[in-house]
Structure 1
Amino acid sequence: MSDIVKTIARFNAGRDPERLAMKYQAMRSSPFVFLRGTCHLFYAGLPRDKMLDEAPPVWICGDMHLENFGSYKGDNRLIYFDNNDFDEACLAPNLYELARLLTSVLVGASDLKLSRAQALALCHTALDSYGAALAFGKARWIEAETSVGMVRDLFDALASRPRAAFLDRRSVLKGKTRVLKVDGKKALPVSDPQRAAVTEFMNKFAASQPNPDFYRILDVARRIAGTGSLGVDRYVMLVEGKGSPDGNFLIDLKEALPSSVMPHVRTPQPTWQNEAQRVVDVQRRNQAVSQAFLHAVDFNQRSYVLRSLQPSEDRVALSDWDGKLPRLEEVVNSMAQLSAWAHLRSGGRQRSSIADELIAFGNRKDWQLPLIEVATQCEAQVAADWKAYCEAYDRGEFKLPAAH
């Protein structure tokens, strides 16, 4: 058994076999999907570079790539576009974050049908935008009125997406009662013990909330979402919300696992109450407005993140750039700015760099070209790892026992 097989199998040990098989199959499809599914490999292979390690420590999301930005409804009921995945969040040099973003651009070029020159141009766009946003020194945000290009297209599409239509895509109406669609694409069935455990948990959680009836469970399923976290214990719950059938809400409950970045970071980390508290606290610091219903909770004697699923939750359709590079440049520009704003917004918290240090770093240019070289090395490592993975996968080395 090759090292890559052992490393990937060890990292994913204990996950739900049915959803883990989906993850392994998806990772076989392209280097970009493989990159998204192997954050732990990326940081293990990140060059031990003095420039990287001496960059300002900030609160990073940890898994920065082109697919980890999207729209969501905040707890103030307004819709924002921002980074939306903090499972790997930790305190780390800011260039760790940017190295992964640039690598995702280079590795994702093939999927997006980008030339090498176009991918490198997007890398320069990202670094210029990030540096300028840091140098300006003020954290901003992106909502419908401040969005441009393909991000604006996303907001426009969300405006015509009512809750009833969203629920119709995820559930089936039986009379005046909805049940979740268990279609093998978004959801899988739960066992009777799983259903009972989730229902008991939600009943206890609801009792601590101002409106307990809102959280009355109508149905439960195992949720299928993402790439890196496929197989992690995760549920989607259909709850009463604001009334049946069209005022129902969907709630996501996902186990929080240790950050796969942290073992490769020399920056001292604070002590967290649990992993979910780390995820939720960094998300609250980095986002301009927190996602609705965001909580760190205990379930089955482990920590989980509880949050809502909304009609307003979506990603930019990057493949719709139509061969017009400025359309992609606007999106990458927005992503780089959002990263800088998150680092400024959370600056000074638990030993992260203060704004003055980040402004000074943004005004420097000596790190930009070397970082693109680091990303190029990472891209080559991803390509080699994916080739080895594909060979092992095709030999059947990632075949899992059938689910019962």
Structure 2
Amino acid sequence: MKNFVPPADRMRHLIADRNRKMAASAHAYVRGSTARFYQWLDGSERPPLPEGPPVWICGDCHVGNLGPVASKTGALAVQIRDLDQTVIGNPAHDLVRLSLSLAMAARSSDLPGVTTALMLERIMDAYGAAFAPEAELEAQSDAVPVPEMVKLVIRKAARRSWRHLADERIEGIEPVIPLGTRFWPLTDEERAAVNALFETDRLHSLVTALRATGEDDRVKVVDAAYWRKGCSSLGRLRIAVLVKVGRGKSSRHCLMDIKEAIAATAPHAAEAQMPADNGERVVAGAKHLSPYLGSRIASAAFLDKSVFIRELLPQDLKLEIETLTRDEALGVAEFLAHVVGIAHARQMNAAERASWLEELQRNRSKALDAPSWLWNSVVDLVAAHEAAYLQHCRRYAIEENAA
């Protein structure tokens, strides 16, 4: 039997795992340090940012939080796929955080600073294109070309089946979640709460919504385990649930993801009308920003915690960017900025889109098309995160030596 972590030891192992992941590269550090970005945002000496119309924003808009997402009908599009930090706020926050993520990816790929400058120019053009009067605001726009490396991920997603998901997530297609390095045992209380949750009408509707099944089809929990996953969600409840849907030979298995929702670090607009419950907030943000994901997600109460639940589909993939060439960096930056622009523009009326597009042009130079507020923000953030990353690596090395 593989080694696994008992409930009492979860936090110690999760902290060690997060530190290891964040020490892997400066780009990985940025992905796992959302709070540092908002510490910078609270600083009095940072460059002033434009104020866009308050809309639902991702709140943690980095490269790894975008990727192919499947709809209930099987359609596929690249959208925002992680909404833990979603709030009604300033869309400029998403634009700056995405730009930081892409700039750090370029630095991790040993690309020169000139490439970063050109990336920011492409980001502004592609993001702004979503707010033009003639812009298409569907799930996927043809206004910006899809880079080849993104096409490869989309093709891979389109070919995937339950077998692929089972092999990756539960190491086989047998109806069991094997305990080991990724999945750890639940407490008796947690397991009983999982069973009770999937007996509710809300979860029955969520599970059966993706299938042509009758309302009386049975939804049965087959297995469940604590899921060791992610950096920024450290210490939060995360449970994988293997569910059997239907009866007899027509029954099928699906894998559900229960994730604790906590208060967002991202600041929200002063007059924003958002759900007070954090799970409901995540669901509302998903419906506005990522329609495909928003149609497949629900909130609930679980052991006095607010959670949101979705089915993991084989087609849902994140964009894993390790190294980039110059042309890849420019193409990916352009494409992802447009995806985020569509998610924001879809929530604005024509007047708001025109006003925001005009505001985005503020302080744009004639020599380089990226406005000074974006360039100066990214320069500040890259410097701060580079220093913080090195300090993190030093602490990690000391802890490893001590261990």
Q: TM-score, normalised to structure 2's length?
A: 0.82
Aligned mates of 1:315, 1:150 — CA distance in 2: 12
Report the secondary structure of 1:199's partner residue.
helix
Whole-angstrom distance in 1 between the partners of 2:10 and 2:91: 30
Name which of 276, 295, 301 aligns with 2:298: 295
Secondary structure in structure 1 of the residue aligned to 2:159: coil
Indicate how the Cα distance of structure 1 residues 289 and 357 shifts in structure 2: closer, same or farther if over 3 A, else same: farther
Q: Does 1:218 align with 2:222?
A: yes
Match of 2:263 in 1: 258
Specify the code of the residue in structure 2 equivalent to 1:164. R
> Which stretch of structure 1 is more off in the superposition, 359-368 or 15-24?
359-368
Which position in structure 1 is the counterpart of 2:158? 159
Instruction: Rate the CA distance shift 1:70–1:41 in 2: closer, same or farther, 3 A.
Output: same
Q: Please say if 1:85 is aligned against 2:82.
A: yes
Deviation per CA, 1:27-49: give whole Å up to 9, x if none.
22222222111111111113545
1:1-400 alignment, distance < 5 Å: 16-46=11-41, 47-48=43-44, 49=46, 51-52=48-49, 54-136=51-133, 137-142=135-140, 147-171=146-170, 177-185=174-182, 187-205=183-201, 209=205, 211=215, 213=217, 215-241=219-245, 247-262=252-267, 267-319=270-322, 321=324, 323=325, 325-347=326-348, 354-362=352-360, 366=364, 368-396=371-399
> What secondary structure, in the 3-state scheme, does the structure 1 residue paired with 2:67 have?
strand
Q: Determine the C-alpha separation between the residues in 2 that align with 1:143 and 1:172.
A: 36
1:72 CA drift (Å): 1.7
How far residue 336 of structure 1 moved from its aligned partner, in angstroms, is 0.6
Contact residue 180 and residue 221 of structure 1 kept, 8 A: yes
Residue equivalent to 2:5: none
More displaced 10-residue stretch of structure 1: 198-207 or 20-29? 198-207
Cα deviation for residue 21 of structure 1 reads 2.6
Q: Following the alignment from structure 1 to structure 2, what is the Cα–Cα distance between the partners of residues 54 and 206? A: 38
Shift of the alpha carbon at 1:291? Answer: 4.3
Contact conserved, 1:214 with 1:239, CA < 8 A, in 2?
no
Quote the offset at 1:93 in angstroms.
Answer: 2.0
SS of 2:131's partner is helix
The offset of 1:94, in angstroms, is 1.9
CA-based RMSD: 3.2
Q: Residues 132 and 363 of structure 1 are in contact (CA less than 8 Å); yes or no, is this contact kept in structure 2?
A: no
How has the CA–CA distance of structure 1 residues 171 and 396 changed in structure 2, closer, same or farther, with 3 Å as cutoff? closer
Paired with 1:296 and 1:334, the residues of 2 have a C-alpha distance of 31
**Higher mean C-alpha deviation, range 223-232 or range 377-386:** 223-232
Work out the CA distance in 2 between the residues paired with 1:245 and 1:188. Answer: 30
Q: Residue 169 of structure 1 aligns to which amino acid in structure 2?
A: E
AA in 2 matched with 1:154: V
| Cα distance in 2 for residues equivalent to 1:143 and 1:310 | 23
What SS is found at the alignment partner of 1:22? helix
Question: How much has 1:160 moved relative to structure 2?
Answer: 2.4
Does structure 1 conserve the Cα–Cα contact (< 8 Å) formed by 2:55 and 2:88?
yes
Gaps of 5+ in 2: 1-8, 206-213, 365-369
Q: Is the 8 A contact 2:238 2:260 kept in 1?
A: yes
State the distance in 1 between where 2:232 and 2:299 align: 20
Q: Equivalent residue of 1:226, what SS?
A: coil
Counterpart-to-counterpart distance in 2, 1:165 and 1:314: 12
Preserved CA contact (<8 Å) 2:177 2:225: yes
Offset of 1:226 from its aligned partner?
2.6
Contact 1:131 1:361 in 2 (8 A): no
Could you tell me how far apart the structure 2 residues matched to 1:364 and 1:215 are? 54
> What is the TM-score with the length of structure 1 in the denominator?
0.82
Equivalent position amino acid for 2:123 in 1: A
Offset of 1:365 from its aligned partner?
A: 6.0
Task: Tell me by how many angstroms 1:197 deviates.
Answer: 2.0
Cα 1:112/1:248, change in 2 over 3 Å: farther
Shift of 1:246: 8.6
Unmatched segments (≥5 aa) in structure 1: 1-13
Shift of 1:221: 1.1
User: 1:360 corresponds to which letter in structure 2?
Assistant: E
Q: Whole-Å Cα distance in 1 between the matches of residues 342 and 196 of structure 2?
A: 40
Decide which moves more: 82-91 or 159-168: 159-168
Amino acid at match of 2:321: L
Aligned length: 376
Residues 365-374 or 338-347, more deviating: 365-374
Q: Compare 29-38 and 44-53 and name the one that shifted more.
A: 44-53
1:309, distance to aligned residue in structure 2 (A) = 0.5
Q: Percent identity?
A: 22
Q: Which moved more, 1:66-75 or 1:201-210?
A: 201-210
Question: CA distance change for structure 1 residues 360 and 231 in 2, over 3 Å: closer, same or farther?
Answer: same
Deviations 1:256-288 (A, max 9, x none): 0111112xx564332423011111101101124
